Amino acid sequence: MASTPTRDYGSSDLAPGSWIILKSMVYARTLINRDKVMGENNVYQHIHGLGIGPDFLGHVIEEDRTTGFLLKYIQNFRIAESRDLDLCRKVLSKLHALGIVHGNISKWNFLVDDNDTRVTIVDFGQSKRGLPEDLEAEMKLLPVKLQETYPRTTDLDDQPIWESDPFTLHGNPVFSEEFKEPSDLA
């Protein structure tokens, strides 16, 4: 659980009673990884409140520049399986309706709540704006991805996922939208 400093050097509850996730460029050692973190930040802002990903709580700002973001931790979940295909399609369709390709639709990025009624997508570090054929191809790949028994370490071109150039993975630029304050997204 976390509290954030306020102007008065006190603290305020960011997500009372909840754990939070901090994703920061401090740990992104290369410019490519920093671009991924900022692209992921933009996606989380863009989908905030739409029932697609975890709750976006805000930016981490150091010396007047955004260096990361905070998300509400998802509790009581399990990793998606083949039997969750309809729920996964439903949430992925919401993302695709925004013109966004996830870019890494492994089963480990689809979290099913403990009531088996809702799926949350995580890990938007490879997300991009997509053409209709990109969105369709990703949706067709979903049933196969939900059957995987181990995490992939390469993308579709057998390039290591963690070292792939985000500018060439899908031929589209990294997802980028204007930064918005969380209050503007509601």
> 132-145 vs 85-97: helix axis angle to the nearest 10?
160
Mean pLDDT of the chain: 76
What's the CA gap between 105 and 169, in Å, rounded? 14
**Neighbour order of strands in the sheet with 110-113:** 77-79, 110-113, 119-121
Domain membership flag for residue 184: no
Q: pTM score > 0.85 for this model?
A: no
**Residue 186 resides in a domain:** no
Q: Note the pLDDT of residue 29.
A: 61
Asked if residue 10 belongs to a domain, the reply is yes
In the prediction, which pLDDT does 27 show?
Answer: 59
Domain, as residue range, for 40? 3-178
Summarised one tens digit per residue, pLDDT across range 134-151 is 999 999 999 999 998 876
User: What pLDDT is attached to residue 140?
Assistant: 96
Out of 12-26, 36-50, 107-121, 131-145, pick the least confident. 12-26
Structural contact between residues 57 and 15, judged by C-beta atoms closer than 8 angstroms: yes
pLDDT band at 68 (very low <50, low <70, confident <90, very high): confident
Q: Let me know: does 80 contact 111? Beta carbons within 8 Å.
A: yes
**3-class secondary-structure state, position 144:** helix
Per-residue DSSP letter, 120: E
Q: Residue 144 is which amino acid?
A: V
Percentage of the chain exceeding pLDDT 90: 44
DSSP summary character for residue 18: -
Domains in the chain: how many in total? Answer: 1
Residue 186 has pLDDT above 50, yes or no: no
* Average pLDDT rounded to a whole number, residues 25-30: 62
pLDDT tens digit sequence for 150-181: 765 555 555 554 443 333 333 333 444 444 44
| Cα 56 to Cα 44, 69, 145, 160, 168, distances in angstroms | 6, 8, 26, 28, 27
In a domain, 185, yes or no: no
Q: Is 12 helix (H, G, I), strand (E, B) or coil?
A: strand
More confident residue, 185 or 143: 143
Residue 97 clears pLDDT 70, i.e. is over it:
yes
**Is residue 73 in a domain?**
yes
DSSP letter string, 29-85: -SHHHHHHHHHHHHHHHHHTTTTSSSPEEEEEEETTEEEEEEEEPP-SEEE--GGGH
134 is a domain residue: yes
